[in-house]
Chains A and B, each alone.
Chain A
Amino acid sequence: MANALDPHAAIATTATGLTDGALRTADGKPLARALARSQSLARRRAFLLVLPLLAFILITFVVPIGQMLQRSFYNDGFSANMPALSQWFAENPRGTEPDEAAWSALATDLQASAEARTIGVVGTRINYDVPGTRSLFTSTGRQVRRGIEPPYQAALLEIDEEWGDPALWSAMREASSPVTGNFYLAAVDRKRDETGSITQVEERQQVYVMLFMRTFWLSLLITGITFVLGFPIAHLLATLPMRKSNLLMILVLLPFWTSLLVRTTSWMVLLQQQGVINDILVWLGVIGPDGRLQMIYNQAGTIIAMTHILLPFMILPLYSVMRTINPSYVRAARSLGATSWTAFRRVYFPQTLPGLGAGALLVFILAVGYYITPALVGGSSGQLISNMIAMHMTDTLNWSMAAALAALLLGAVLLLYWVYDRMVGIDNLKLG
């Protein structure tokens, strides 16, 4: 504190006439400490004010999402219900032929699990990796519940010889550890084969990588289209006199306030083959009655409906930025000899970038997670990865798989966000 070279410190010391060099308040306490105390009090009060929101976000957002993501690498469906066999796997390295001890552990676990009614959980877990094994577990469980005699290997093979399948044992070994990366492997169309090395799944089972690519490609495309469509509208809104622009603004906001489902359904009515647009085209003679266009239940339908729904998210940030741009800059550029294109490109457009960045980021991130619109109008070629996540959540009930897909999606979005930050700078973003 008492730095002789610091002019302020010198003045303060002189003014208070004290020799220890510290500033003091009127009642003689060191100023720095008093200030720190009053500031920490203010900070604590401020913290108390945000505490409800913080708690709300923690409880309703961070914790559930964390729990959900945890499922993507943690599934104890097998290990918790088959402890003896899991133990055996832990003690014997991969490649060990299952001996009678292993079979005995399997029989004991099956029996206990069948009695505890958890055999379905075990079977479901293994069924993820070896399809068709769920009923092997449940039917064997029903039989061993009545009792099973050693030698266990012979007894279990007697019940169903599928128990000798090396792929099944390999899958059980994989599942014996609750922490697993296998769901992530499956989410990128990979699997572990019997020797434990990673291979691609059969071509006809491959679906996720393609859907991830399609999701990102379509989201980019939709972001691009909303930009092309939204930019002139935002410009018009920003430059028209207030009364007219307010009227136009209502036209932008009205659909924004309408239910998503209503808008999606309206697009069905408009675009379907026997729909309004096709009817008009046929009536005008543009197309023949047999040449009706397929505009919905495919990728085109997804793009059209999503573009419409996401358009306000591009227009609003652009508009708010354009409103603040001083028109005299462009006038100055023109008066200095710039063509209108040059004035737009070099003077006007760069100033809209913060709004464009915000709009593009909003539209892209929303598009990546879109679910209900592609489900309804996407047909077979307009499905996105979120539809697969929903399917695993509600149909196959494989929540670990849903969580792995969702985690990958989240990771990819965060990565893109980081790239965006490096390229454009997140400080450069203006939401309104």
Chain B
Amino acid sequence: MTRQLIAGTALALIAGVAAQAQDAPINITTYGGAFGAAVNEAFAKPFTAETGIQTTMVDNDNPPATLKAQVEAGNITSDVFDVEQSDVLRLCDEGLIEPIDPAILPAAADGTPATEDYLPQALHECATAIMVWSTVIAYNTEAFPDSAPTTAADFFDLEKFPGKRGIIKRPKYALEFALLGDGVPADQVYEVLGTPEGVDRAFAKLDSIKDQVVWWEAGAQAPQLLADKEVSMTLAYNGRIFDAIVDEGKPFAFVWDGANLDMDYWVVPMGAPNRDAAMEFIAFASDPARQADLSKYIAYGPPRKSAAASVGTYKDGTTQMAPYLPTTPENAERALVNDAGFWADHDAELTERFNSWLAGA
């Protein structure tokens, strides 16, 4: 009897430990805000429901810097990080993130393998894209009752469209946008920006409106500046503006010309405590149906081609998402795809020049 009891207890203990090992909770670090909430709804909660692995969302305003610090200090507290494209290259080259085997990613419904189904640049040896977002022009429709701006050049036209302009306070996006506004075709922007004359040209274009610019730093500032009428037009992350339009009923509108497409990626820090569960999560989140589902919660497009068609309505049940997504063909037509390789090479140099230019009179 006693022996049975002991054996039973031991078994229960072992089972308990095993279950714990298998179901070790994973921490997911994202840029937070509406996106963190959307990831929680579209990926994390269904993942927990299906696998029983608990997930905790961590908000962070700079995941790559945190990841670097955690790996270098050997104290990794998150298993999955959401980072931008340029960070993927840098972190992977420096050996700070784990390679991801594309074989773990599920095929599309029609059997197309994941490697062919993802958009160009969406798969990397160390990362898989989560979604496509975009830096676009947004304006307050009340500011321009007669004629609405339609092109990037209109952004720099202070006579036709008076009012202050909001621009992100970093050279990435601001410089490309200046060139687009100066008439450089999207497919030549990085070629031009790679030359000293091209950089001068971008700064000269920004100079033309410099005294009318309000520089913003956090993504939430852009819709705030528009709502307060501090600016009449601003560069903004499309998801933030979508929220303001649909959830808060603000009189804002997009101009898709001059949009800069960028992707966020899942990465796993080198030596993550729950590497296997993290990989399982990434595979789960790369399912086309799940990706399309993300657009139910936030205006970011799916990085898999097969997912674009299944994008439906917003969580309010009435708003069709397609017109608001950067991946919808009409919107993506004239968009520039951000070149992370270019920024990995020139970030430091252009950031210094940008700050020097900003600080100057």
Contacts and interface: CB of A to CB of B under 8 A. Distances in A.
Interface in A115-136: 116-121, 123-124, 127-128, 131-135
B355 A391 contact: yes
A84 to B, nearest CB: 20
B11 interface: no
Contacts of B210: 380
Contacts of A2: none
A120 B217 contact: no
Contacts of A381: 359, 361
A394 B68 CA distance: 10
Contact of B347 (A211, A379, A395): A395
Given A394-B65, A395-B170, A397-B68, A205 B352 contact: yes
Contacts of A214: 359
B191 interface: no
Contact of B349 (A120, A132, A380, A388): A132
B215 A379 contact: yes
Interface stretch (B36-44, B86-94, B311-319): B86-94
Contacts of B348: 127-128, 131, 396, 398
A115 to B, nearest CB: 11
A207 interface: yes
A272 B225 CA distance: 10
Contacts of B228: 272, 274-275
A218 to B, nearest CB: 12
Nearest to B342: A135
Contact of A205 (B92, B95, B353): B353
A131 B89 CA distance: 16
Which of A124, A210, A380 has the most chain B CB atoms inside 10 A of its CB? Answer: A380
Nearest to A382: B359
Given A204-B353, A380-B359, A394 B62 contact: yes
Given A117-B93, A133-B345, A207 B359 contact: yes
B65 A379 contact: no
Interface string A372-412: 00011001110100001001011111100000000000000
Nearest to A118: B95
A214 B65 CA distance: 28
B113 interface: no
A131 B351 CA distance: 11
A274 B352 contact: no
Contacts of A297: 214-215
A206 interface: yes
Contacts of A273: 164, 230
A127 B345 contact: yes
A138 B94 CA distance: 10
Nearest to B194: A132
B93 A138 contact: yes
A133 B341 CA distance: 11
Contacts of A138: 89, 93
Contact of B217 (A131, A133, A274, A375): A375
Contacts of B230: 272-274
Given A121-B94, A297-B215, A397-B90, A391 B353 contact: no
A397 B65 contact: yes
Contacts of B349: 131-132, 205
A134 B92 CA distance: 13
| Residue among B89, B94, B95 with max Cβ neighbours from chain A (10 Å) | B94
Nearest to B210: A380
A393 B355 contact: no
Contacts of A379: 214-215
B93 A206 contact: no
B344 interface: yes
B215 A395 contact: no
A127 B344 CA distance: 9
Specify which of A118, A120, A128 lies most central, judged by the most chain B CB atoms within 10 Å of its CB: A120
Given A128-B348, A272-B228, A211 B68 contact: no
Interface in A193-216: 204-207, 210-211, 214
Nearest to A132: B345
A236 to B, nearest CB: 36
Nearest to B355: A207
Nearest to A116: B95
B356 A204 contact: yes
Contacts of A210: 359
B154 to A, nearest CB: 22
Interface in B200-238: 210, 213-215, 217, 228-230
B344 A383 contact: no
25 contacts: A117-B94, A120-B90, A120-B93, A121-B93, A124-B90, A132-B194, A132-B345, A132-B346, A132-B349, A134-B344, A134-B345, A135-B345, A205-B356, A207-B356, A211-B359, A272-B230, A274-B230, A297-B215, A376-B217, A380-B210, A381-B359, A383-B358, A394-B62, A395-B170, A395-B351
Given A118-B95, A121-B95, A132-B194, 16 more contacts: A117-B94, A118-B94, A127-B348, A131-B345, A133-B345, A134-B344, A134-B345, A135-B344, A138-B93, A204-B353, A205-B353, A214-B359, A380-B169, A380-B210, A380-B359, A396-B351
